[in-house]
Amino acid sequence: MIILDTNALITLLMKDKDQAEYKNLVAFLNQAKNFSMALPMPVISEFIAGDDNEARSLSLLKPNAKFKNLDFDAKAALSAAKVYREYRNLPKNRRSADPRQKVKVDIQIIGIALANNATAIISHDQGLKTVVNELGLALAVYDYMDNNYFEQMASVVVVESNKFQ
């Protein structure tokens, strides 16, 4: 399963289709069509908060064939709590410089991903990537806005881990 972060969802639904970031994202989604795609509820909430198109926003809450909606349920909450506990214990120089509340939302998304056995998160969020990388979580984070996007996809190996499952 592959998770889309808010910035990827915004790119997919709202960006100019001629922009490189949109093309990179669509190319990846086409390449990964054998995987299921999912949207965590915090992602949907963040998207709806900034979207003026009410019909589009509400359609994200309805089940559809393209994306599975993932709740922040008890299993995700436990995963997120474990991630946050480990993250909090990192030295400050290894933590994200993002505000604490943003980091907590990122960790909720990571917790949902881990609880649902996702293999990757598509995101341009460096803070989210920092949390995953610094804790050595069994998730790949693909930055679709990076010019080396396809090299990233080919070079990242998802390591099996039972640490947060």
pLDDT digits (tens, 9 = 90+) for 79-130: 999 999 999 898 888 887 777 777 889 999 999 999 999 999 999 999 999 9
d(CA 117, CA 125): 20
A 10 A CB-CB count for 126 gives 14
Least confident of 25-29, 67-71, 86-90, 154-158: 154-158
Residue 163 lies in a domain: no
Residues contacting 58, CB < 8 A, separation 6+: none
Residue 157 pLDDT exceeds 60: no
Q: Does some domain include residue 105?
A: yes
Contacts for 92 with CB less than 8 Å, ≥ 6 apart? none
Extract the tokens encoding 156. Answer: 């990242």
Given a cut of 50, whether residue 156 has pLDDT beyond it is no
108 within a domain of the structure (yes/no) = yes
Range of the domain at 37: 2-149
CATH of the domain at 92: 3.40.50.1010
Give the percent of the chain with pLDDT over 90.
59
Candidates 86, 87, 156, 73; CA nearest to 121 is 156
135 pLDDT higher than 80: yes
Q: For the chain, what is the domain count?
A: 1
**Predicted local distance difference test score (pLDDT) of residue 102:** 76
Per residue in 59-93, pLDDT tens?
999 888 889 999 999 999 999 999 999 998 988 88
Neighbours of 77 (CB within 10 A): 15
Q: Is residue 154 part of a domain?
A: no
Rounded CA-CA distance 103/124 in Å is: 14
Q: What is the pLDDT of residue 150?
A: 55
